[in-house]
Amino acid sequence: MSLENSRMATRAVVLLSGGLDSATVLALAREQGLECYALSVAYGQRHEVELTAAVTVSKALGAREHRVMRVDLASIGGSALTDRSIAVPTTQTKGIPVTYVPARNTIMLSLALGWAEVLDAREIHVGVNAIDYSGYPDCRPEFIAAFENLARLATRAGVEGQSIAIRAPLLHMSKAKIVREGARLGVDYSITVSCYQADATRLACGLCDSCKLRREGFVSAGVLDPTRYVQGGPQIV
């Protein structure tokens, strides 16, 4: 393998939302020695402050480059995260919740796939999780496997026998294990945003499903939660 091909083989596109999971994924990719190109997507989310967090996270964790791409999923609607007339639920519901954004992960992975082809990167890393997740259909192992197959069929790289792998290292981890991994790698979780309705100062509501999963993860991991919550009581270990 030539020096140039060797360098390309170490490249990876990492989908970076600015939240706890994606920050951990970026840290894990960096630990593997990968040259990481972080990609965030402004899709019309009500918690757009997560994009500001993503800029901070990408710099803190040593991404080679960070880009923000824009897609107007708010014009599609159908989700509490893109339609402000739909309230973010604060109690658990059955089935797929209203915070599910139709086709979001499919679109984000497609954007990452296009950039990976241009970069000659061989991997895309994404922070989906099938254990402590909110019932989203595009966070399941079947979805990741299907998209990887699509990547083989729909790209020049795949046709030429240089397929792009979809890595989801958190897929089977509990939130507590994710927090412990991040703590081991020195991730500063205070700069991340997980709340579905965080304000401009990154103050979390403490009531949405994402806040609850995050908080429970820190408590179960025995790691101090640095998140500032509007509600939810004292931050404990």
Question: According to the model, what pLDDT value does residue 2 have?
Answer: 40
Tens of pLDDT, residue by residue over 38-66, are 999 999 999 999 999 999 999 999 999 99
190 pLDDT tier (thresholds 50, 70, 90): very high
For residue 1, the tally of other CB atoms under 10 A from its CB is: 8
Residues 6+ apart with CB under 8 A from 83: 74, 77
Tens of pLDDT, residue by residue over 165-184, are 999 999 999 999 999 999 99
Report residue 119 as tokens.
Answer: 């970069």
Residues 6+ apart with CB under 8 A from 214: 20, 175, 194, 195, 204, 225, 227
All domains of the chain in start order, with CATH: 3-193 (3.40.50.620)
Give me the amino acid identity at 208. C
CA distance 5 to 2: 5
Question: According to the model, what pLDDT value does residue 236 have?
Answer: 42
Q: Quick one: which of 65, 159, 149, 69 has its CA closest to 112?
A: 69
Report residue 60 as tokens.
Answer: 């803190």
CA distance 79 to 94: 16
With 0.85 as the threshold, say if the pTM is over it.
yes
pLDDT at 235 over 80: no
Report residue 142 as tokens.
Answer: 């079947």
Give me the amino acid identity at 118. V
Tokens 């007339």: give the residue.
85
CA distance 157 to 162: 5
Give me the amino acid identity at 44. G
- Average of pLDDT values for 109-120? 97
Tens of pLDDT, residue by residue over 62-87, are 999 999 999 999 999 999 999 999 99
CA distance 49 to 165: 30
CA distance 47 to 195: 7
